[in-house]
Every structure is written in C-alpha cells, then in structure tokens.
Chains A and B, each alone.
Chain A
Amino acid sequence: MEAALNHQTAPDELAFCEHVAGAEFQAGVDAGRWRLLEVTWPTATLAISAAARPNSPREFFFCFELSGYPAGATARPIDIATGQTLPAEMRPKGEIVGHAFRTDWLEALYVPWDRVAIEGHPEWRIRHARKLWNEDLGILSYLRPTHELLNSEDYRGV
C-alpha cells in the first residue's frame, strides 16, 4: 500500500493506511478474522469471517466509507459478486445479529460503532458506551465487534 501513496495522500487516508499496517490489524488478518481487499479512497472493501453454519458463507463483505478517518466509519454489507448492498435473504440471522444486519432502515449496520447509526441514535452513546467507535483503535473498533457478532453462538447463518 505504501507504494500507492504519494504527496497528495490525504491525512485521513494516511491514518487508515497506518492502522491497517499496524500489528493489531495484521494479527487479525493472520488469525483469519478479517482481510482488506481494496482501497479506493474514501472507500475500502473488507471481508470479515463468520462461524461455519449450514448453507452460509464463511465471510461477509463490507464497503466502508472512511471520510475523516479516524473520526469514524460507516459500512454496508455487500454482495461481493455484484457490489450491490447485500439483500435481506443473504444477510446474517440471529436474535442480536439479525437486528444489527436489519434491512428496514438505512444501508449501514444498525450498531453503535457505525457512524451513521450512532448519528441517528445519540442515546446509544450512554446505553452502549462499551461499543462505541474509538479513534485510537480506528478500524479495529468496527472489525472486532462485527467479527464477534458473526462468530457468536447467536449467529444462525443466512
């Protein structure tokens, strides 16, 4: 990624590149928890792995919008074959997981660590204080809890 950077690289993109080059992000890649597929700033495509469930994929893909990083990020789950927002029938199910991947609102995940979701739910900053985006952790504060959702016993597949 360094080779792709030049003097015009914006501070937010630089900050993102530093985070994905960091040991914590790389440890997640080595452990098979997530991987970076593509960066076309200010968007990036990442995959997050999921527990094995019948007739379900082992990873889900997300298109992140990262403007202003590391102030926050929003992501929508996508069908990697088409690039389109993941339809309801292909989304993860589960009591907690299914609610986070609900389709009856905006395209972003319905979780406190998503920039769009938290903007619409300021009360979550108190109610779900443990789950908020953290600028120091950056993209990890999105990947870790999303990976946790997709690998919890609550996750029932698609």
Chain B
Amino acid sequence: MTEEEQDVQIYIHRSETTELRLIEVEDTISVRELAEEHAGPGAGAWLEDEEESLELDVVVSEVITERGHVHVAKKCKKIAVTVRYGEPLTKEFAPSATIAKVFQWATGKKGFGLTPTERAKHTLGICGTNTEPDRSEHVGSLAGPDCSLCLDLAPKERFEG
C-alpha cells in the first residue's frame, strides 16, 4: 500500500443471505472490483436505500463512506416486493432497499395509506414463515432466486397471557 492508499471498512450485503460482512479494502479499488469479489463477474453495487446502482469504474473512496452499507448482486438487480394487506401491492425496489424503506412505502399514501396510529400497530413478516425481518435488512438479501419477495403487513401483537 502506498502512502496515498488507505483502508476503508465497508458493510457488504449480498443476495439470498442475511449474513453481513464487514470488510476492509484499499480505498483505491474500483466499485467493479469490490462487487465482483463478493458477488462474481458482472455484479453490480448499490448504496443502501439508493435506487440507482453505483458507477462501476469509480474508486470506492469516491462513493462509499467509511462503514457505509453496500449491496452487491450478480443476478437480481431489481426485486419485485409484494406486500399483502388484504389486496396485494407490488413495487420494484433496488436490492439495497431496507425493510424500513419498504415499510414506509407500504404504509404510506402510495401503499395502503395507514394512519399514524395504524402504522404504529403493524409490522412486516415474510409470507408463509415465522420470520420478521429486521428493519435494517435488504430486500435483495431476503428475496429468493426468482428476485421476488413477499411480505405480510400484519398487526403487532401485545404480549399477554
């Protein structure tokens, strides 16, 4: 490493796994090198909650902050997210969209239009499972190989008994 080069730590999110990686790379490597190292040839990269993918030929220090979150994906570059709350609604998101962002959309005016009181009493769960994803998780990490994700907007429960 030359004097000008510095290491930068980056959180890497990947497809079909919620395992998060905190890696350290020289800040002079390109986004392409970063994406391909963690997701294979032809992979793209997205900053968290950004719809547009990163330019692949820029160096990471120009676009990724220290301990920033980046999603890398080779196949699923858009995720079709369906939220069920009575009638299902579907919207395409970048794979780096967080569950928090999907919740904002699903409960907002372009989604099911919940009131603040109703919003406080609902949460998102993965359809057909007992999994309630964390708000920080990326839709690209939760989606299957068909690049889609189904979520139920369900009432939060008070713990009684």
Q: Which residues of B contact A128 (CB under 8 A)?
A: 157, 159
Q: Decide if B161 touches A123 in the complex (CB within 8 Å).
A: yes
Cβ of A14 < 8 Å from any Cβ of B? Answer: no
Does A23 interact with chain B (Cβ within 8 Å)?
yes
Note all chain B residues with C-beta closer than 8 A to A152: 120, 156
A27 to B136, CA, bound (A): 9
Contact with A along B122-161 (1 / 0, CB 8 A): 0101000011101110000000000000000000111111
Query: In the bound complex, do residue B125 and residue A95 qualify as a contact, i.e. CB atoms below 8 Å apart?
Result: no
- The minimal Cβ–Cβ distance linking A36 to chain B, given in whole angstroms, is 16
**B130 and A124: CB pair below 8 A?**
no
Are B159 and A129 neighbours in the complex by a CB distance under 8 Å? no
Contact among A26, A30, A123, A130 for B132, CB-based, below 8 A: A130
Interface of B: prevailing SS: loop
How far is A148 from B136 in the complex, measured between Cα atoms in Å? 11
The proximity string for B residues 15-42 relative to A, scoring 1 for CB distances below 8 Å and 0 otherwise, is: 0000011100000000000000000000
Name the one of B11, B20, B116, B131 contacting A130, with C-beta atoms under 8 angstroms.
B131
Q: A residues touching B (Cβ–Cβ < 8 Å)?
A: 22-24, 26-28, 30-31, 95-96, 99-100, 110-112, 117, 121, 123-124, 127-132, 140, 144-145, 148, 152-154
Interface, chain B (partner A; CB < 8 A)? 11, 20-22, 67, 69, 116-117, 119-121, 123, 125, 130-132, 134-136, 156-161
